[in-house]
Amino acid sequence: MTSPPELLPATGAVPFVRDLATHGDRPAVVTADGTLSYADLAARVAETAHRLGTTRRLVLVAGANTVDALVAYLAGLHGGHPVLLVPGGGPATRALVEAYDPDVVIGPVDGAWRIDERRDGSAHELHPELALLLSTSGSTGSPKLVRLSATNIQANAESIATYLGIRETDRAATTLPLHYCYGLSVVNSHLARGAALILTDLSVADRCFWELFRTARGSTFAAVPYTFELLDRVGFAAMELPHLRYLTQAGGRLDPGTARRYAELGRRAGWDLFVMYGQTEATARMAYLPPDLALTRPEAIGVPVPGGTLRLAPVPDQPEGVGELVYAGDNVMLGYAERPADLASGRTVAELHTGDLARRGPDGLWELVGRRSRFAKILGLRVDPQAVEALLARHGVPAACLGADDELLVAAVGGADARRVRRLVADEIGLPPRVVRVLPLAELPRLASGKVDHPALRALADATPNALPTGADDDLCRLYAEVLDRTDVTGEHSFVDLGGDSLSYVEMSVRLERVLGQLPPDWHTLPIAALPAPPAARPRRRALETSVALRAAAIVLIVGSHIPLFHLTGGAHLLLAVAGFNFARFQLTDVDRRDRLRQIRAGLTRIVLPTMAWIAAVLLLTDQYRLSTLLLVNSLVGPADGRTEWHFWFIEGLVYVLVGTGALLALPAVDRCERRFPFALPVTLAGLGLLGRYDVFGLDARYDLPGGVVACWLFALGWAAARARGVAQRLLVTVAAAATVPGFFGEPAREALIVAGFALLVWLPTVPSVGPVNRLAGVLAGSSLYVYLTHWQVYPHLRDRPLLALAAALAVGVAYGLAVERVRQIFNERLKTGR
């Protein structure tokens, strides 16, 4: 392997690119398809660089998170060719090709990676120091580019590697695009230290991302502010990531509360949070907040990166101590390019005026307090609101725009179609539609001078509820609002965000599956806008969530065995396992401890109140039950020889477990333990429950102990099933069930049913089904509690007609469930109106 010879004078490869081969057989790139060593990567880079030749040319590279794109980028730098990194296709890329007329275009064509040499030489005069061209802060499609030198790239990579303490053993996942300066800085800094990249274009909202991250022994990944919303939704706090060393954040201001929360999470779990500040003009990074200060000073951007300095430039009409933040260092760009002729220019910038207003705190940490201009960073992308206004004006839409860290507000007048406005802005600017908020107005608020009154516009927007998103998400939001009885549903919400629980989950999953086809495994934690689009045609193959199928089957088995239409017991104990499974999914979300306890209380209320209401009605009409049954304490105070009081042992046991678990999680230490060891804690609780199962204290759990003891054991195993990640943990739950259930009841068929149910719960997220079965299973599973409550008073009157008894018991339970739901809706409506 040899380097390309005879580079132009004053031009050379970026040092860390030139030295790739020195890391030998160490892993350089890990993908879902395998691992590429540094030696192999260096060979591929040299081969591509050789093909690009020794004449310097402008090389455009589609910056996807693929091995081909990475090799092309590095090959350009290796050969001394200025590289223009762009997104992988679309209007933005075409605009840059037209504006800069690259000599070589490298990217995918019809699914294959191609090098298109548009000419042998170059159509441009290229300055010897020019190495890389990037869009300003990710603002794709604009002809304005940042000109970077090899010195800029190397200095920034070394600086980041130094303050992050990157090691050879680190493995960084590419959670951001290669063409975005932040994502590129992750690549550069890790290659500069001989560390590995986990190369993927998967989102952190994708379960497959986390499987790859764990398998590849990922130690770090990069996040922009929106990433943390996704992490919350996928239950990041509960994940077991044994090799994670640190998490970095940049691309916009992170809410201090979120920064503090994640810093605390990292402190408990053993990893660091680096909050960072930068711009493309500084080749990515200018300041960082040392991790030990993230808890106490999350609002600060911290200290300059190694090799850099910060100062304040005076700004008129600003308070004392506030000025424009100015950065100097070897990573400051050569200057901007707005046309091909600018590629011949040398350094035109000595230091970087950031446009941010800042001050320096008494502790020496720098803080941002505002912007000099109206530019905004949204999801890490720089957006010029005036450019958006001009764009809409060209389409006949008068508008005013305001940017924030998490959305672009477009106030449109003249009766413009909000859906059309959102699509225009999203397509042309490169923002996802979910962050473009359209506010229809009759007229814009204006100052006496006639200029738009932006503070008044912001106040008006803040006072106007965000409407349901238009477009593909609209019907889904209405569906969520209907099922969950909510009026505040937006595309940003997930089922869990909106307070969904195990009862509403059944109806929601079945109705969603009817609309979308097969659902993603963790759909309940995904924002509505992230759900897949409805298929053009209804899919022939349908699926049913395993937990829903088990609930429906279990309640049929319970009622059928009590009639008896058949004798196949074990359904109630299987329901306890499913209850634990759903408890982990819906009550143990990544909210704070108080919100978790509120969720547990709400779940208890939805069990206890309908139960007591039904038993009270039966007490008024018959002498079938006693006061201890009504108060759900029969298993504690008796009578032990009652003929009917035992009917509700299952509900009593479930209530006791939920109360006990809630009491445990109310303890801050236990709550922290659950978040840090989400699988180990339920396994431990299951082990404690097994003390009663095996009569350790001389008490037979079947007769001498309350039903809650049995419930605890099976409930905890179900909880562990929901938290199991990877084959080893799934096997542990399966083996635990297979080892401990047999022998407890002395009924092999009953025990086999429970073990089989556990296996399905652990290994199969869904089971094949058809539409009618899905609808029936959804109704039965959603009404399983109410069927269990009411069937005792239904089937005895129809014993001589067992099939009719089964149908009647199920129908009465469903009807009672509908009545309970209607009462709850009426209560909520009156609560909202204050009547």
> Which range among 125-129, 175-179, 786-790 shows the weakest confidence by mean pLDDT?
175-179
In whole angstroms, give the CA distance from residue 151 to residue 763. 52
CA distances from 345 to 99, 127, 129, 333, 497 (A): 17, 6, 9, 12, 52
Query: Which pLDDT tens digit goes with each residue over 584-639?
Result: 988 887 667 887 888 899 889 999 999 999 999 999 999 888 898 999 988 888 77
| Local structure of 443: helix, strand or coil | coil
DSSP string, 479-546: HHHHHHT-S---TT--TTTTT--HHHHHHHHHHHHHHHSSPPTTGGGS-GGGSPPPPSS--S-EEEEH
Residue 36 β-bridge partners: 29
The mean pLDDT value for 670-686 works out to 90
Which residues are CB-neighbours of 620 under 8 A, at least 6 positions away?
none
Count of CB atoms situated within 10 Å of the CB of 336:
15
Residue 380 vs residue 566, higher pLDDT: 566
Burial 34-54 (b: 16+ CB within 10 A, else e): eebbbbbbbbbbbebbbebee
Predicted confidence at residue 36, as pLDDT, reads 96
What lies within 8 Å, CB to CB, of 449 at 6+ separation is none
pLDDT band at 374 (very low <50, low <70, confident <90, very high): low
pLDDT digits (tens, 9 = 90+) for 564-593: 999 888 899 999 999 999 999 888 876 678
Higher pLDDT: 4 or 546? It is 546
Cα separation, 484 vs 495, in Å, equals 9
Tell me the average pLDDT across 246-256: 89
C-alpha span between 328 and 307 (Å, rounded): 9
Give the pLDDT of residue 71: 97
Maximum average pLDDT range among 173-182, 436-445, 525-534, 590-599 = 173-182
Per-residue pLDDT band for 511 (boundaries 50, 70, 90) equals: confident
**Lowest-pLDDT choice from 91-105, 124-138, 818-832:** 818-832
pLDDT digits (tens, 9 = 90+) for 733-756: 999 999 999 988 888 999 999 999
Does the domain formed by 474-540 have CATH 1.10.1200? Answer: yes
For the residues 486-494, what does the mean pLDDT come to?
71
Question: Which of the four pLDDT bands, split at 50, 70 and 90, describes residue 405?
Answer: low
Report the pLDDT value the prediction gives residue 264, as an integer from 0 to 100.
93
Q: Examine the pLDDT at 661 and tell me if it is beyond 60.
A: yes
Contact 246, 276 (CB under 8 A): no
**Which has the higher per-residue pLDDT, 9 or 110?**
110
Closest by Cα among 59, 44, 77 to 192: 77
Query: The domain 384-457: what is its CATH number?
Result: 3.30.300.30
Sign of the torsion angle spanned by Cα atoms 679, 684, 689, 693? positive
Average pLDDT over residues 313-333: 91
Q: Report pLDDT digits (tens) over 209-232.
A: 999 999 999 999 999 887 887 898
Measured CA distances, 767 to 542, 549, 578, 720 (Å): 9, 8, 15, 20
When pLDDT is cut at 50, 70 and 90, the band that residue 699 belongs to is low
Residue 9 has pLDDT above 60, yes or no: no
Q: What is the pLDDT of residues 14-61, one digit of tens each?
A: 999 999 999 999 999 999 999 999 999 999 999 999 999 999 999 999
Going along 526-611, which residue ranges are E strands?
542-545
CATH 3.40.50.12780 for domain 15-370, yes or no, is yes
pLDDT of amino acid 833: 54
The whole model's pTM is what? 0.54
Greatest C-alpha distance within the chain = 101
Rg of the chain (C-alpha set): 31
Average pLDDT over residues 293-310: 95
Q: Is 103 helix (H, G, I), strand (E, B) or coil?
A: coil
Does the pLDDT of residue 450 top 60, yes or no?
Answer: no
Backbone angles phi, psi at 438, to 5 degrees: -100, 125
Summarize the confidence of residues 353-361 as an average pLDDT.
92
Nearest to 161 by CA among 334, 74, 285: 285
Among 662-671, 691-700, 707-716, name the most confident range: 662-671
Q: CA–CA separation, 831 vs 268, rounded Å?
A: 40
Identity of the residue numbered 5: P
Which pLDDT does position 545 carry in this prediction?
86
Q: Kindly tell me the sign of the dihedral angle through the C-alpha atoms of 537, 541, 544, 546.
A: negative
CA-based nearest residue to 148, from 139, 161, 135? 135
Mean predicted lDDT score pLDDT of the chain: 86
Phi and psi dihedrals of 490, rounded to 5? -130, 170
Higher pLDDT, 420 or 537: 420
Alpha helical stretches, state H, 270-403: 385-394
What is the b/e burial string over 267-299, where b = at least 16 CB atoms within 10 angstroms of the residue's CB? eebebbbbbbbbbbbbbbbbbbbebebbeebbb
Specify the pLDDT at position 449.
45
Determine phi and psi for 649, rounding to 5 degrees. -60, -35
Residues 112-123: b if buried by 16+ CB within 10 A, e if exposed: ebebeeeeeebe
Q: What percent of the chain has pLDDT over 90?
A: 51
Rounded distance between C-alpha atoms, residue 677 and residue 190, angstroms: 30
Residue 829 predicted with pLDDT over 90: no
Per-residue model confidence (pLDDT) at position 12: 64
Give the pairing type, strands 287-289 and 272-277.
antiparallel
User: What's residue 60's pLDDT?
Assistant: 96
Helix (H) / strand (E) element for 774: namely helix 771-782
For 812: left if phi > 0, alpha if psi spans -120 to 50, otherwise beta; the answer is alpha
Burial class (CB in 10 A: 0-12, 13-18, 19+), 458: middle
Mean pLDDT of 722-729: 88
Element containing residue 761 per DSSP (H, E): helix 748-763
pLDDT at 418: 75
For range 725-731, the mean pLDDT: 89
Is residue 80 over pLDDT 70? Answer: yes
Question: What distance in Å separates the CA atoms of residue 261 and residue 221, rounded to the nearest whole number?
Answer: 18
What are the distances in angstroms from CA 325 to CA 274, 357, 367, 383, 727?
Answer: 20, 6, 10, 20, 51
Across residues 646-668, what is the average pLDDT? 91
The Cα angle at residue 687 between residues 686 and 691, in degrees rounded to 5: 110
Strand pairing report for 352-360 and 335-337:
unpaired
DSSP-based helix, strand, coil % in the chain, nearest 5 = 50, 15, 35
| 827: Cβ contacts below 8 Å, ≥ 6 apart | none
Angle, CA 510 vertex, CA 506 and CA 511 arms, to 5°: 115
* Alpha-carbon torsion (598, 600, 605, 610), positive or negative: positive
Q: What is the mean pLDDT of residues 491-505?
A: 74
Taking the domains of the chain in order of start, what are their residue ranges?
15-370, 384-457, 474-540, 546-779
Going from the C-alpha of 585 to that of each of 124, 239, 479, 578, 735, the distances in angstroms are 58, 13, 21, 11, 22
Q: Could you tell me if 173 and 209 are in contact, meaning their C-beta atoms sit under 8 angstroms apart?
A: yes
Contact present, 655 and 604 (Cβ < 8 Å): yes
- Pick from 463, 469, 471, 457: nearest CA to 389: 457
Are the folds of 15-370 and 384-457 the same? Answer: no
Strand pairing category for 308-313 and 323-329: antiparallel
Average pLDDT over residues 361-367: 95
- The answer for residues whose C-beta is within 8 angstroms of residue 523's C-beta and 6 or more apart is 495, 509, 512, 531
Candidate ranges 38-42, 489-493, 627-631, 761-765; pick with highest mean pLDDT: 38-42
